[in-house]
Chain A
Amino acid sequence: MTQPVSPPRDEIPKLSPQVEPSPWRAVVARADVRTLSLLGVLAALILIGGITKPDEFLDTRNLQLVLTQASVIGVVTVGMTFVIISGGIDLSVGAIVALASVWATTVATQDFGFVGIFFTAVIVGVGCGLVNGVLIAYGTMVPFIATLAMLASARGLALQITDGNTQVVTVDGILDLGERDSYVLGVPPLVMVFAVVTIIGWLVLNRTTFGRRTVAVGGNAEAARLAGIDVRRQRLYLYLLSGLCCGIAAFLLIILSGSGQNTNGNLYELDAIAAAIIGGTLLTGGRGTIVGSVLGVLIFTTITNIFALNNLQSDVQQIAKGAIIVAAVLVQRRTASTT
Chain B
Amino acid sequence: MPEITSRRGLLFGTAAVSAGVLLAGCTSNESDDEPASNDQPAADDKPGKQVTIGFAGPQADHGWLNAINDNAKSRAKKYKDVTLEITEGSNDTAQQIGQIETLINKKVDVLVVLPADGKALTQVGLQAMRAGIPVVNLDRIFNSPQAYRCWIGGDNYGMGLNAGHYIGEQLKDKKGARVIELAGLDNLELTKQRTQGFDAALKNYPNIKKVARQAAEFTVESGQAKMSQLLQAQSNFDALWNHDDDQGVGALRAIEQAGRDDFLMVGGAGALSAMQAIESDNSVLKATVLYPPTMAASAIDLARALGQSKGIGGLAEFEIPSSLTLYSAVVDKENVKTYLPTGFK
> Is A311 positioned at the interface, with any CB of B under 8 Å from its CB?
yes
Given contacts A256-B224, A257-B220, A258-B253, contact A166 B246 (CB under 8 A): yes
Pair A315/B186 contact, Cβ less than 8 Å: yes
Q: Which residues of A contact B217 (CB under 8 A)?
A: 263, 266
Is there a chain A Cβ closer than 8 Å to B213's Cβ? yes
When the two chains form their complex, are residues B228 and A65 in contact, meaning their CB atoms are under 8 A apart?
A: yes
- Give the CA-CA distance A62 to B230 in the complex, in Å: 11
Assuming the contacts A166-B220, A166-B273, A262-B61, asked whether A257 and B253 have C-beta atoms less than 8 A apart, the reply is yes
Contact (A179, B257) CB under 8 Å given A69-B225, A164-B60, A264-B219:
yes
Residue B226 CB within 8 A of the other chain: yes
Min CB distance A153 to B, Å, is: 15
Q: Are B230 and A308 in contact (CB under 8 A)?
A: yes
B343 shortest CB reach to chain A, Å: 12
User: What 1/0 flags go to A46-90 for Cβ under 8 Å of B?
Assistant: 000000010110010110010011000000000000000000000
Q: Which of B187, B220, B249 has the most CB of A within 10 A?
A: B220
Interface size on A, residues (CB 8 A): 39
A313 touches B61 (CB 8 A): no
Select which of A65, A168, A313 is within 8 A of B229 by beta carbon. Answer: A65
Measured CB to CB, the closest approach of chain B to A66, in angstroms, equals 9
User: Which of B20-28, B39-47, B62-70, B199-207 forms contacts with chain A?
Assistant: B62-70
In this complex, the member of A165, A166, A265, A315 whose beta carbon has the largest number of chain B beta carbons within 10 angstroms is: A166
A residues less than 8 Å from B224 (CB atoms): 256-258
**Contact A56 B66, beta carbon cutoff 8 Å:** no
- In the bound complex, residues from chain B placing their C-beta under 8 Å from that of A308 are 214, 226, 229-230, 232-233
Closest B residue to A304 by beta carbon equals B229
Taking CB atoms, residues of chain B closer than 8 Å to A180 are 257-259
B193, chain A: closest CB distance, angstroms: 16
| Across-interface contacts of A179 in B (CB, < 8 A) | 256-257, 259
Could you tell me the distance between the alpha carbons of A164 and B252 in the complex, rounded to whole angstroms? 20
- Separation of A266 and B221 alpha carbons in the complex (Å): 9
Query: How far apart sit A308 and B246, CA to CA, in the bound complex (Å)?
Result: 21
* A261 engages B232 (CB within 8 Å): no
In Å, the complex CA distance between A95 and B92 comes to: 19
Pair A263/B62 contact, Cβ less than 8 Å: yes
Chain B residue numbers with a CB within 8 Å of A311 are 211-214, 233
Task: Return the contact of A259 from the options B59, B218, B233, B249 (Cβ within 8 A).
Answer: B249
A253→B221 CA distance, assembly (Å): 8
The reply to whether B229 and A309 contact each other, CB–CB distance below 8 Å, is yes
Q: How far is the CA of A258 from the CA of B59 in the complex (A)?
A: 25
Contact with A along B214-244 (1 / 0, CB 8 A): 1101111111111011101101000000000
- Judge whether B345 is part of the interface by a CB distance below 8 angstroms: yes
B164 at the interface (CB under 8 A from A): no
Does B250 sit within 8 A of A, measured CB to CB?
Answer: yes
Is the beta-carbon distance between B257 and A264 smaller than 8 angstroms?
no
Determine whether the beta carbon of B215 is less than 8 Å from that of A313.
yes
Residues B232 and A61 in contact, CB atoms below 8 Å apart = yes
Which residues of the other chain, A, contact B213 by a CB distance below 8 angstroms? 311, 313
Question: Is A16 located at the chain interface by the 8 A CB criterion?
Answer: no
- What is the interface of chain B mostly: helix, strand, loop, or mixed? helix
Q: Are A263 and B61 in contact (CB under 8 A)?
A: yes
Q: Which of A264, A265, A309 contacts B233 (CB 8 A)?
A: A309
| Beta-carbon contact of A258 and B249 below 8 Å | yes
Residues in A whose Cβ lies below 8 Å from that of B233? 53, 56, 308-311
Question: What CA separation (Å) do A164 and B57 show in the bound complex?
Answer: 14
Complex-state Cα separation, A258 to B214, whole angstroms: 21
Task: Give every chain B residue within 8 A of A265 (Cβ-Cβ).
Answer: 221
> Is A208 among interface residues, defined by CB-CB distance under 8 A?
no
Chain B minimum-CB-distance residue to A61: B232
Question: Taking the complex as formed, is A111 at the interface, i.e. its CB lies under 8 A from any CB of chain B?
Answer: no
The answer to whether A3 has its CB under 8 Å from any CB of chain B is no
Q: Give Cα A154–Cα B250 distance, bound, in whole angstroms.
A: 23
0/1 per residue, B268-281, Cβ < 8 Å to A?
00010100000000
Question: Given A56-B235, A257-B250, A309-B233, do A164 and B221 touch, yes or no (CB 8 Å)?
Answer: no
Nearest B residue (CB) for A256: B224
Q: How far is the CA of A258 from the CA of B228 in the complex (A)?
A: 14
Complex Cα distance A163/B66, Å?
Answer: 7
Residue A285 is within 8 A (CB to CB) of chain B in the complex: no
**Across the interface, which residues of A come within 8 angstroms of B222, CB to CB?**
266
| Residues of A contacting B61 in the complex (Cβ-Cβ under 8 angstroms) | 159, 164, 262-263
Alpha-carbon distance A124/B125, docked complex (angstroms):
43
User: Distance in Å from the Cβ of A337 to the closest Cβ of chain B?
Assistant: 36
Q: Which B residues lie within 8 Å of A53 (CB)?
A: 233
A122-168 residues at the B interface, CB under 8 angstroms: 159, 163-166, 168
CB <8 Å contact, B220 and A259: yes
Q: CB-CB < 8 A to B257: which residues of A? A: 178-180
In the bound assembly, the distance between CA atoms of A338 and B60 in angstroms comes to: 54
B232 touching A263, Cβ below 8 Å: no
User: Do A313 and B186 have beta carbons less than 8 Å apart?
Assistant: yes
The answer to whether A6 has its CB under 8 Å from any CB of chain B is: no
A110 at the interface (CB under 8 A from B): no
Please name 18 further chain A to chain B contacts, defined as beta carbons within 8 Å, in addition to the given A165-B66, A166-B345, sorted by A numbering.
Answer: A56-B233, A56-B235, A68-B228, A69-B228, A166-B246, A175-B253, A256-B224, A257-B223, A257-B250, A257-B253, A259-B220, A263-B219, A264-B220, A264-B221, A266-B217, A308-B229, A309-B229, A313-B214
For this complex, 6 residue pairs linking A to B, each with C-beta atoms less than 8 Å apart, are: A56-B232, A164-B66, A258-B252, A258-B253, A304-B229, A305-B229
4 shortest interchain CB distances as A-B pairs: A308-B229, A164-B66, A165-B345, A263-B219
List A residues at the B interface (Cβ < 8 Å): 53, 55-56, 59, 61-62, 65, 68-69, 159, 163-166, 168, 175, 178-180, 253, 256-259, 261-266, 304-305, 308-311, 313-315
